[in-house]
Structure 1
Amino acid sequence: MRADRPAEARGRPGCPVCGCPIAHEETLCAECRWPLHGGWRLGAPGAGDVRDFEARLAAARRERDLRAAVRAGRSAAPFVRGGEPTEREWAEAARIAAAPPVSDDALAAQLAAALEPPRRGRALVVAEVGADVGLTVVRIEPDALGVPRVPPAADTALAWEAALPMLSRDPDERRFQLAGGLADVDRDMLWRALREALPARLGDPGDDVLLVHRDIGWPVPDRTVRILRRANGRARVVPAGSRTVSDLLAPLLAALPSPHDIGLLAVGVEPGTRRLRPRLLPLFPAGSRAGAESAVPLARPPGDADSTVLAAVAAAPDGWTVLTAGAAKLPAAGRTDVRAVLDGPGAVRFTAPGPLSPVTARLPDLLAGVPDRLEILTEPVDLICAVELGGPGAAVARRLALLRDLLAELDLRYGSHPRPGLVRAAVFGYGDHAYGRGRERRKTVSGAWLAAPAEALRALSGLRASPVAYPEAAPVEDVLHEVAGRLPPPAARAARTVLLTVGARPPHPAVQGDDDVLPCQFELSWRTALGGLVRAGVECAVVVDAARAPDPDHRAWAELGALLRHDLDDTDTTRLGAGLGLLPSAPQTLDLPLADPERGAR
């Protein structure tokens, strides 16, 4: 308040210099040490004595106000009793009253010790007291992943202008009062209002409490810290300099170790069932700190998705959480290194490939689009087709048409695929044994071995229907031995091998049995050949032309159809291709990478 402003009514008399409440028996002011009682003297003071006393009082008041003004800053100069100070007075007061700079090292050390390691259910409460902020409280507690999180803004627990209405509404004068210019303020009323306005506790039981004191030597902030310290017995009082708590916290939080493993979200294919299951490709193990880098080789996932979602996921014991995600267009051929940098616990940044389109979907939404089974081809397959050529032209044409449509679809999907040799096909046609004299040793099998689907189509186009020489059986055993003789041993094959037989008549027996079916002219056993193929890992499927089959339920069809058995009249390209694991039964898209980088681009 200005020097000419009348003092407010007080409950107790105050010191004429500083306004501190006094008791009658005190000889010196407890705060400014102004003499309150002089020695006895005879008679009334003379005019000179009065002038001397008033001069000393005015000087003491001015010196007191100057110290408060130096703390508060130049804007407080108008509120110094006796008029604005000269430069010489200001310099002298600054020499005496200016506080030395306070280092932030102690506060930074206390914050670092309280943050590591973070403990669930236990927060760090940072209460900051200062002339500019009043009392603000920041509660820092671990999130669901155990990473300490700072709220966007501190809670203002006490604002000077609201809690202490006896102070000036003028912000410059109020700052002067907070710094010690309280001569005209009722201290009893001021401290009572302050005690009532402050929160009873600064945190929950068990919380770590740091009481940050910014303006040491300012009476009102000093009293505030003392009250809070008494009410919060475990609170640690820490001096602070010019840097804000948020400025100090940012690098400390970023330097904390990652509490959990972090991986790149992918899907794995279960062998056999081809069911898709979410998996994490390792990026950063638990304990990694800011600055760690990681690279994962990826290929474009199968299907026709426009882009691939790259999601960094934290693997906590109670579940996975997406930390960041973006969509990238991966090249159709080859593999791409996905690179990531750990910027802090729970903070991952993808640096390659780029740029990424933002993805805001949560983990359940990302996994909701993953098919239950992967029907898109991801592993190399060798398809060996064997087709019976004996029979009427229309019947044989239907068998050939089924294979032609299947091979054409495979050529369309995989003929120009970036992974050469993902699908190869062989085509063999088998005609009847010739039982007439001089024709017994005629070759029954013709066709071409494994090549691209387009080559297999050309080989198929050269096959023609042939007459039926024997209605009860066809030389299926011959084509089985042909395939077994050409097939490399399992150790030399990298591809899954599927034998697809399309025909009506069962094979000839190796020797004639009780059923009177003529044996194979070459004494070949279909069981021996088929057993060798199965032991070599060949999967067998059959399409039976049941309408022309003498025995649709022959044991050979059951064994040749261990993987799949269809009726020629009840199948088509999509159904057959899906059953063989070559084509999807419905369009599939997969926008998450496959967990096995060796599968290559699909």
Structure 2
Amino acid sequence: MTGACGPQAACPVCATPDQRSDFCAVCEWCLQSDLVLGELTARELKDAGDALLAAGHAWDARAAALSARGPESARRVTEVIRGGPPRRDEEKPHAAGSADLGIPSGYGGLLDELRHGTLRELSFVEFTADGLHMIRVTVGEAGIPLQNDTESIAWPFAVPAFDSDEDVRRFQLAGGIGTLPPVDRREFDTAVLEWLKASLPVSDPPLVLLRPSPGWQLLERAAATARQACAPQAELHAGGADSAHGTSAHRTTADAVRRLVRTLPLQADHTLLLARLDRETGAVHAESHVLFPEGFRLGPGETETAEVTVYGGPADRDALYLPVLAGVPVADGTGASPVSTHQIEVGALEPARLTFVLRGPGEVDLVAPPGARTLGDPTAADVPSLIPSPLLRIDPQPRLELYFTVELSGADPAETEERLTFVRDVVDLLGRRDRTGAAIRVGAVGHYDHTVYESIRAKEGILLQAPVSARPPAELAAALAGWAPARRRQDMVSSLEDALPEVARLITGDALWDVGGRRASEDPGAPCVHRVVLIVARRPPAPARQHGVVPACSQGVNWQTALARLRSHRCRVMTRADPAAGPPPADRPGRDARRYADGVWRDLGADGAFRPGVDSAAAVARSLAPPWRVQGPNCPLAFAAPLM
């Protein structure tokens, strides 16, 4: 008698056909046993049946554990497993293969031939639980690899015998048989072969086979069919497209191929298109900043970062363009391939630190600063239209000399500190616009009143702090560090009338000298200077003579004379005052004092007035900065260097 199976029958455990050995080459089930005399007993038949059922159950449990995506996906599969649901010790998935993807030794020349143009195309084939996939890779402009996926097909369309349920179909691809009609292996091979013939180009380009993870029996069988029919020039192990129980994210064949071609060297500089101002002529030109140089090459799974600081233009814009190109464009903006296009919002003259990440040739992402926007289509912004117009001229803004008067008496230290914080913030914001300190200079005078009851640090009789002459913004904070606040004992007037003449003396002295230490009057080409005095206070100056209940200046100083002198120096005098508010006092002296204060602040703020709690330091800094003289169309690009 013969054993359980004839020499050419399919294995009853795993359905592998056409086997001519005593044991199945796939599941090791005994296909042909020794001859025995006589009929088999009922016990022998039962034992043989139990052994076959146990082997079928173990085989199906293995396939179920390997293909399961999670507890919910396993429910439908357990219904078809031979011998019932698997035991707990049978539910552990097989370990997935390594996910390292790289060209084996001796096959690296394929990518080099593709890069150098010896090969026009390289095809990658992979069989996954989703279907049959073919990715064709060519090299486009500037050596950027291009992937084309037009030949993929899902398993139910290629092999209709597969179950319509996705989880059961995965179980079948892992080799599971169950209680369903088995997928005929010969028909499966034929379907794979027909797909290969229909998908491969007539030119028969070199083929790279991405091997499936071990244990997926039908996927391995499909790979064997491709190996026999197409003779791949290389075989790579790309790891499973997804792992058991959803422990890793699903990846596509395109992802695997992309990870490989990302290791190609850059064939052109990957550059950032910026603008640069010619300070001599005022013209604006395009400039290419190299982020990643030609020849740079990433290893498998690696990335590289590049950081660059760019600057806003002379005026605030909704967004500035940041085109990343492969190559350096010519003067009209052509000649370089778009890689990616980004947009950021940057304040006028403000710096922005950018961080770009290179993921492979033609793949550059902007990851910082937060809020940056990437356009979906790299060609959405036409590069030639971003090139600065030859008609554009940006003339340097006039120099700014800003002097603060700061009232240092307050109801408590917090009141005075709020004023000093405001001054420091405005100065810091202006300093960002002029990092050289040549175009913006700031000075300050602090004042108290004539009836100071001083703190430990402020001695009685001090009306002013040591005046600070105009200097670069970065130096003012240190000069203000020693200023001492004092508590005020009356809320009518301060010694502002003494501070205003002191500011006039500072302006007179500072105006004689330019930044280089030469007498400005001797330099006919000395630039125009905008001078501004900003009064930061609560109380108005004292009158030269007593005004009702408002006390006079004990020194007899007339603030109106000082104001006229400042304006004779072409100074704009502006205020940031927080006088007493609310309904007018009920008593006549109080109403007279209120009218005096309102009239004084109206005169002092004739050139402009800011309100605490309404006008922020940023708004004040923007208002104080002299405007740039811009002629022609705006520049949509960020600048490579500060304009000042």
**Bigger Rg over Cα:** 1
TM-score, normalised on structure 2? 0.46
TM-score, normalised on structure 1? 0.49
